[in-house]
Amino acid sequence: MNDSTTVRGTVGTVFWASLALSSLFVVWGVAAPDHQMAVMNSALNRITSGFGWAYLLLPLLLLALLVGLAFSRYGRIRLGDDGDRPEFATHTWIAMILCAVMGIGLVSYGIAEPISHFAVPPHDLAEPGTPQAAVLALQYSFYDWGLHAWAIFAVFGLALGYSMYRKKRPGLVSALFRPLLGRHADGPAGKAIDVFTVFATLFGTTTSLGLGALQIDNGLNRLLGTPTGTTTQVVIVVVVTVLFSLSAASGVQRGIRYISEVNLSVAALLFVFVLFLGPTAFLVSLFLESLGQYGDEFLLMSLRGPAFGDTAWMQGWTYFMMAWWVSWGAFVGVFLARISRGRTIRQFVLVVLGMPSLAFFAWFSVFGGSAIDLDLNHGTDIAGSTAADLNSAFFTTLAEFPLPAVTAAMVVVLAVLFFVSGADANTYVLGMLTTRGSLRPPVPILLLWGAMTGALAIILLFSGGLAALQQTVIVASAPFLVVIVGVVVCFWRDLRSEDTGAAGTPRQPARSAPEETV
């Protein structure tokens, strides 16, 4: 069967509606970029002033739900039949989850966020540039990149895994809504949900693509003296778009898997280099104190909003981060569901919430903590360089370590690999979502979504760079907040059905075999 026949047989309303909306956004950006950004900025202000609290409250409620499920009687239910066992060994499964979290954001923000908070403490809770500001900087970096983010991902992964493997439904977000919508989940209402999913996922990918271009542009300038600016960034986007589109077309077992493995190796090497050549004792101490304050002030920090006028700070950090995670929810959820068949709900929740969060905390503590130590104790001004150019933070910090040219080259390679691995996996998910849940989307569809992602990133870079990327992902993710609430309601209804057997008699869920340890 040729590709054109395959495409005609798998695409439908969701594909065409998603493509039309995305194309309209591209045309709008080309024809009237100033008008587009003015409208997006107005929408951003309306969303954050009227509904910003939802980005704070929802992740916290999801986290409470997941922990409650893990330690309830539902925690023994398997993502699959009662007799199913995990497809992957526990250590392999954890390694695959960690590969999924390693994204371009760790390069773009691993130093930039902590050092920015050190210079301008969140909500004016400490004096800038003090030891108290250092602890606070990591505390809020943990907040933005830890349990709250993974609560969003875990809810999607858990609901999708349960729906696909235990209820035998298609791998579509609309299929999760069958307990609530019934047959309408396969009709216009369900298709609208899938279109929202595609749109949010697309802009999450676009944001990562734009951030990657900014980071690589800065690194190439330092290494090779190439000119920086929008033109160079566009060339980078085009080149990397070709790379990740081809990688996605090669399939999960080849391109995506191999690039992810190389990613983890390069990241681990750089991590160990900075940890042991940097102020190791200081970094460990700062990590522990920041982790303690993160736990001690967890609830207050999670609900602290812009009641006293710091809306702009929230838009640049907390709202942007939470919206980014919302937009990535379906993508990461599909990946987590794919690798977690046979796991119990308890295993899934504890590992997916715990392991990636610890990985992020360690990364931010070592890299961000090293930059803070340099500014605090050695007279550097990494905070000033970062304020002038967010993408300079990593390179400015590594310039203070041995072998700066080598480590800078490693960061560029890492940025490219993160760029490609994250975007190609996202392209694969976009292809799957727009081909009725096909596990092998046709190559032309994958290439089309790769091109669309690159085009959107170029439009936003021309329109306003980082600010445009941040405001667009917040606006695009807003409708998806409603979808997340619906996913939770439907998943809970599904779980309640476990209390009743086929004949309507109460039963205990999934106790037919002992549970493996994590």
- pLDDT tens-digit series, residues 441-469: 788 888 888 788 788 778 777 766 656 66
The single-letter code of the amino acid at 398 is L
Q: Which residue has the higher pLDDT, 497 or 135?
A: 135
pLDDT value at residue 324: 82
- The least confident of 70-84, 172-186, 199-213 is 199-213
Of the pLDDT bands very low, low, confident and very high (cuts 50, 70, 90), residue 11 is low
Residues 107 and 208 sit within 8 Å (Cβ to Cβ): no
Structure tokens at 104: 């371009």
CB neighbour burial string for 450-489, b if at least 16 within 10 angstroms, e if fewer: bebbbbbbbbbbbbbbbbbbbbbbbbbbbebbebbebbbe
**Could you give the angle at which helices 147-161 and 33-70 cross, rounded to 10 degrees?**
70
Distance from C-alpha of 83 to C-alpha of 163, rounded to nearest angstrom: 16
Our measurement of the distance from residue 444's CA atom to the centroid of its chain's CA atoms, rounded to an integer in Å, reads: 26
User: Is the per-residue pLDDT at 62 higher than 90?
Assistant: yes
Q: List, in order, residues 6 or more apart from 356 with CB less than 8 Å away.
A: 97, 98, 100, 101, 150
Distance from C-alpha of 346 to C-alpha of 349, rounded to nearest angstrom: 5
Of the pLDDT bands very low, low, confident and very high (cuts 50, 70, 90), residue 10 is low
CA distances from 189 to 246, 429, 451 (A): 33, 21, 28
Distance from C-alpha of 181 to C-alpha of 190, rounded to nearest angstrom: 8
- What mean pLDDT comes out for the span 90-110? 75
CA distances from 437 to 81, 160, 176, 339, 433 (A): 21, 12, 12, 16, 5
Mean pLDDT estimate for the chain: 83
User: Is the per-residue pLDDT at 438 higher than 80?
Assistant: no
Distance from C-alpha of 92 to C-alpha of 87, rounded to nearest angstrom: 10
Share of the chain above pLDDT 70, in %: 87
pLDDT value at residue 14: 85
Its sign, for the CA torsion 217, 428, 464, 149, is: negative
Structure tokens at 350: 């504890």
Q: Which residue has the higher pLDDT, 472 or 236?
A: 236
**CATH class of the structural domain 88-167+192-481:** mainly alpha
Of the pLDDT bands very low, low, confident and very high (cuts 50, 70, 90), residue 514 is very low
User: Is the per-residue pLDDT at 505 higher than 50?
Assistant: no
User: Is the per-residue pLDDT at 487 higher than 70?
Assistant: yes
Domain ranges for the chain: 88-167+192-481
Of the pLDDT bands very low, low, confident and very high (cuts 50, 70, 90), residue 63 is very high
Distance from C-alpha of 260 to C-alpha of 426, rounded to nearest angstrom: 13
User: Is the per-residue pLDDT at 166 higher than 60?
Assistant: yes
The single-letter code of the amino acid at 40 is M
pLDDT value at residue 464: 64
User: Is the per-residue pLDDT at 5 higher than 50?
Assistant: no
Q: What are phi and psi of 78, to 5 degrees?
A: -95, 150
pTM of the model: 0.85
Residues 344 and 498 sit within 8 Å (Cβ to Cβ): no
Distance from C-alpha of 161 to C-alpha of 164, rounded to nearest angstrom: 5
